[in-house]
């Protein structure tokens, strides 16, 4: 009896090792050396350089893989391009069969995949076996369905082309599934580069895919260092880049792809909050913390690494957590009874240890349980640091290891403020037995995934991705498809421009008075009463800060009006007004209210129809009929987005969760919009209307050449119940003003429909804080066309998806 009681008290488990024999046999079959998987064949370049892959749990050499060079990258991209010619035209039902076959084949080899993942990565076998590999198959099953449905449900879209995909080392198989499955389902072809530390499961996956019969060239896998990744990113025949990894590398990729016309999706770092209210099931929340931060040794981008506990239960909760940490087991990843495995590499171990020492130096109290670690291998104890200031670097920066920092709060509003006190926005977890409170807090935390009374929930049917410096784009779910599609009318943008290195982009000398001979003629004995529009900021007409004016000339070179020549201060004032409008409740207004305001705008614009027609004719020299068509289309477009204002709120995702997963289309926030010169009124409205319909506030830069229609339009706004600051209008040199917008930390997205060179600079500058951008690359768009000038593309750019997971049951 005493022996049984002792077992229950100590909760000591004997080892339950998983056999590595099958993995070793597979490695031996390849001679422990792997080439590159190109066109469904193993390719080993002449004179290839190999580099080793070690088991982080014991330092054992597993295999050597090839370092790809430019020639091999060219071969992989070439194979992918050739395969795209037929794969993109393969009927959806056929592509679905292939994805289904891949999913079945993955299940048949699931044990081999799981064991190899744990040996190569260091994660516990129970995580590889019970989470990673099942989700791998789930994604291919899920996207097999979308391949089947593409021709009916996504008939307005086409494949993007050749997709370069770069994945990290923390979830090699899961990240592979997130990227490859939707890409090939939509008819794209893939060149994938796994992380330098973890290459082996991607190579095994390639064999399994070939065994399933996937046509040659659809999926190619190359290995190598970051230089191989850069070759993929910069390859001119790659149409899209999908990347998961650190925010710093994401910045580099944004700069490398700037102005190229390549689509880019980035799933980057995080510092996710784990919020515990005093009414939560504290024991359940403790187990949630274990899953949130010590899952995969904390090497998780969405790890709940910031514990935020209500002050009146903080001491009790921390003590419960410390007691739980004392019973955690760290050891051999192939032992089915352990909680944590090995850190992936010595350099990562050193980084983690360095952050712990930093946390102590910053005044934190470090707790590590008194548990045994294996004598050999890269193991690190679960770590808790308390007593830090919210601004401490250990609290603010991503550690990417088993290190938890703890803070306290008193009120829900303070909890939300602490949760959002980060440059990241990938995920969050909220724990409370009050579902009203939990859902309210979840709606206010800025993160792409929010788990209520649970954590680290994933499913093929639900999108995953970040806000702010956690990146943009979504992987998983229906929303993840749009990263691998473009509208059927749109060719791959291939902008052509030459950077002028001598001229700093955005430089602008204020304009001077017009020369004699272009003055405005009126044909009357008395001159016309001067009517020079001001800026429109915060719902008020304001003079330009610099007190400069620019002239607007007609197609024949005659002066037809003047507008303010805006500067950096005007943009800053406009952004401040837009931010104030956003935080004062525009985004929280019901879509019905926003729709009524848009209908009112349309009504008041139509009441002044003739005036706007005359202005367009006067500025552009176009015919009366053409100008009339533009004004009528502008009214219709306002009606379109009034209709969408309460119909694009989101969906309930069909996940495997016992409960509900709600995808909410949240507004981006403050959007800076630079309008095209073509169709000066319609282009302005086509961009403004979807943005404000979905709850954003905007800073509009009208057509630089023909700004007067937009300046007349603010009088329409004044009479249409539009709250001050929702729409702000600043005139002047487009690139000069956009440069300030894209560099502004309080602007969440920039839409730019100017030159190809300007598009490059907007994308390049956006890397500073990973601002989302939408650029036209200097290519003309038919704004009169409903296909090109309105619809889902615009609504997609105006929103970001938040998935809120709510389990049900006792």
Residue 663, classed as helix, strand or coil, is strand
Measuring CA to CA, how many Å separate 339 from each of 57, 226, 373, 405? 14, 31, 12, 20
- Point out which residues pair with 38 in neighbouring strands: 41
Give me the catalytic one of 64, 72, 127, 301: 301
Closest CA to 117 of 46, 198, 176, 179: 198
Number of C-beta neighbours around residue 230 at 10 A: 17
Q: Which helix (H) or strand (E) holds 353?
A: helix 346-361
Q: Which two tokens mark 14?
A: 């004997």
267 is catalytic: yes
Contact of 766 with 412, CB cutoff 8 Å = no
Sequence-ordered strand ranges (E) for 39-107 = 41-43, 50-54, 61-66
Environment class of 421 (CB within 10 Å of its CB; exposed 0-12, middle 13-18, buried 19+): middle
Tell how far CA 438 is from the center of its chain. Answer: 24
| DSSP character string of 730-765 | --S-HHHHHHHHHH-TT--EEEE-S-HHHHHHHHHH
Q: 300: which residues sit within 8 A by CB, 6+ positions away?
A: 170, 171, 400, 456
Tell how far CA 768 is from the center of its chain. Answer: 15
- Point out which residues pair with 487 in neighbouring strands: 157
The 3 state secondary structure assigned to 1-21 is CHHHHHHHHHCCCCCCECCCH
- Is the four-CA dihedral 167, 467, 803, 298 of positive or negative sign? positive
Give me the catalytic one of 72, 127, 267, 793: 267
Q: 31: which residues sit within 8 A by CB, 6+ positions away?
A: none
Placement of tokens 């009124």 in the chain? 681
Measuring CA to CA, how many Å separate 227 from each of 223, 231, 455, 767? 10, 6, 35, 20
> What phi, psi does 479 have (nearest 5°)?
-65, -25
Environment class of 320 (CB within 10 Å of its CB; exposed 0-12, middle 13-18, buried 19+): middle
Residue 404, classed as helix, strand or coil, is strand
Environment class of 751 (CB within 10 Å of its CB; exposed 0-12, middle 13-18, buried 19+): buried
Q: How far apart are CA 474 and CA 182, in angstroms?
A: 11
Q: Which two tokens mark 658?
A: 């016992």
For the chain, the straight-line distance linking the first and the last C-alpha, in angstroms and rounded, comes to 34
Q: How far apart are CA 722 and CA 700, in angstroms?
A: 15
Edge to edge, the sheet with strand 471-472 lists: 41-43, 36-38, 219-221, 189-193, 162-166, 240-244, 263-267, 471-472
Contact of 168 with 245, CB cutoff 8 Å = yes
The 3 state secondary structure assigned to 533-589 is CCEEECCEEECCCCCCEEEEECCCCCEEEEEECCCHHHHHHHHHHHHHHHHHHHCCC
Q: Which helix (H) or strand (E) holds 652?
A: strand 650-653
366 is catalytic: no
Q: How far apart are CA 232 and CA 605, in angstroms?
A: 49
Number of C-beta neighbours around residue 288 at 10 A: 22
Q: Which residues are catalytic?
A: 267, 301
């Amino acid at each position: 009896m005493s022996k049984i009681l002792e077992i229950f008290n100590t909760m000591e488990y004997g080892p339950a090792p998983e056999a590595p024999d099958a993995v070793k046999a597979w490695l031996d079959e390849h001679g422990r050396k792997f080439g590159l998987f190109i066109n469904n064949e193993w390719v080993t370049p002449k004179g290839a350089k190999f580099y080793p892959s070690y088991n982080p749990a014991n330092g054992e050499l597993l295999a050597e893989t090839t370092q790809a060079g430019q020639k091999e990258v060219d071969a992989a991209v070439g194979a992918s391009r050739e395969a795209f010619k037929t794969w993109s035209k393969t009927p959806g039902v056929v592509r679905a069969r292939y994805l289904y076959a891949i999913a079945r084949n993955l299940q048949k080899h699931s044990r081999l995949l799981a064991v190899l993942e744990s040996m190569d990565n260091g994660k516990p076998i129970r995580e590889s076996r019970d989470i990673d590999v099942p989700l791998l198959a789930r994604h291919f099953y899920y996207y097999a369905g979308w391949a089947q449905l593409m021709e009916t449900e996504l008939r307005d879209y086409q494949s993007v082309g050749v997709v370069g995909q770069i994945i990290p080392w923390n979830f090699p198989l899961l990240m592979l599934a997130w990227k490859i499955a939707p890409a090939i389902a939509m008819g794209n072809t893939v060149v994938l580069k796994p992380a330098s530390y973890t290459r082996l499961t991607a190579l095994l996956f390639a064999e399994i895919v070939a065994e399933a019969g996937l046509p040659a060239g659809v999926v190619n896998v190359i290995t190598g260092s970051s230089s191989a990744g850069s070759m993929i990113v910069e390859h001119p025949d790659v149409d899209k880049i999908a990347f998961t990894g650190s925010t710093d590398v994401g910045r580099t990729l944004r700069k490398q792809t700037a102005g190229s016309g390549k689509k880019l999706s980035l799933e980057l770092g995080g510092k996710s909050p784990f919020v515990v209210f005093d009414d939560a099931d504290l024991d359940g929340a403790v187990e949630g913390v274990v899953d949130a931060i010590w899952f995969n040794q904390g090497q998780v981008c969405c790890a709940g690494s910031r514990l935020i506990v209500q002050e009146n239960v903080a001491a009790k909760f921390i003590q419960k957590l410390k007691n739980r940490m004392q019973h955690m087991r760290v050891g051999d990843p192939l032992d089915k009874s352990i909680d944590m495995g090995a850190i992936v590499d010595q350099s990562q171990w050193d980084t983690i240890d360095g952050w712990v020492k930093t946390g102590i130096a910053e005044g934190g109290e470090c707790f590590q349980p008194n548990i045994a670690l294996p004598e050999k291998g890269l193991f690190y104890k679960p770590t808790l640091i308390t007593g830090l200031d919210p601004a401490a670097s250990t609290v603010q920066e991503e550690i990417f290891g088993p290190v938890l920092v703890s803070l306290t709060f008193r009120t829900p509003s303070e909890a939300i403020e602490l949760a959002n006190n980060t440059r990241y926005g990938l995920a969050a977890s909220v724990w409370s037995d009050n579902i009203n409170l939990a859902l309210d807090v979840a709606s206010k935390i800025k993160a792409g995934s929010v788990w209520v009374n649970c954590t680290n929930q994933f499913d093929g049917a639900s999108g995953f991705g970040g806000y702010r410096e956690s990146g943009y784009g979504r992987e998983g779910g229906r929303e993840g498809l749009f990263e691998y599609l473009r509208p059927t009318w749109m060719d791959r943008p291939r902008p052509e421009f030459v950077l002028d290195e001598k001229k700093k982009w955005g430089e602008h000398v204020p304009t001077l008075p017009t020369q004699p001979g272009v003055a405005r003629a009126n044909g009357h004995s008395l001159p016309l009463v001067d009517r020079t529009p001001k800026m429109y900021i915060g719902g008020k007409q304001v003079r330009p800060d610099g007190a400069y004016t620019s002239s607007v000339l007609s197609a024949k070179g005659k002066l037809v009006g003047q507008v303010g020549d805006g500067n950096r201060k005007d943009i800053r004032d406009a952004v401040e007004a837009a931010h104030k409008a956003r935080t004062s409740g525009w985004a929280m207004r019901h879509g019905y209210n926003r729709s009524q305001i848009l209908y009112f705008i349309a009504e008041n614009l139509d009441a002044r129809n003739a005036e706007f027609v005359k202005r367009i004719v006067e500025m552009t020299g176009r015919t009366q009929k053409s100008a009339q068509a533009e004004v009528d289309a502008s009214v219709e477009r306002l009606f379109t987005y009034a209709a969408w204002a309460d119909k694009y709120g989101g969906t309930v995702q069909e996940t495997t969760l016992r409960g509900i997963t709600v995808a909410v289309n949240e507004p981006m926030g403050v959007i800076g919009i630079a309008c095209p010169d073509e169709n000066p009124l319609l282009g302005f409205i086509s961009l403004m209307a979807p943005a404000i319909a979905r709850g954003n506030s905007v800073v509009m830069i009208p057509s630089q050449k023909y700004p007067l229609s937009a300046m007349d339009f603010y009088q329409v706004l004044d009479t249409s119940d539009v709250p001050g600051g929702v729409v702000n209008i600043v005139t002047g040199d487009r690139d000069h003003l956009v440069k300030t917008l894209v560099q502004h930390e309080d602007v969440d997205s920039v839409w730019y429909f100017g030159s190809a060179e300007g598009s490059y600079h907007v994308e390049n500058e956006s890397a500073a804080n990973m601002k989302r951008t939408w650029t036209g690359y200097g290519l003309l768009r038919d704004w009169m066309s409903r296909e090109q000038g309105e619809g889902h593309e615009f609504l997609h750019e105006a929103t970001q998806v938040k998935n809120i997971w709510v389990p049900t049951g006792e």
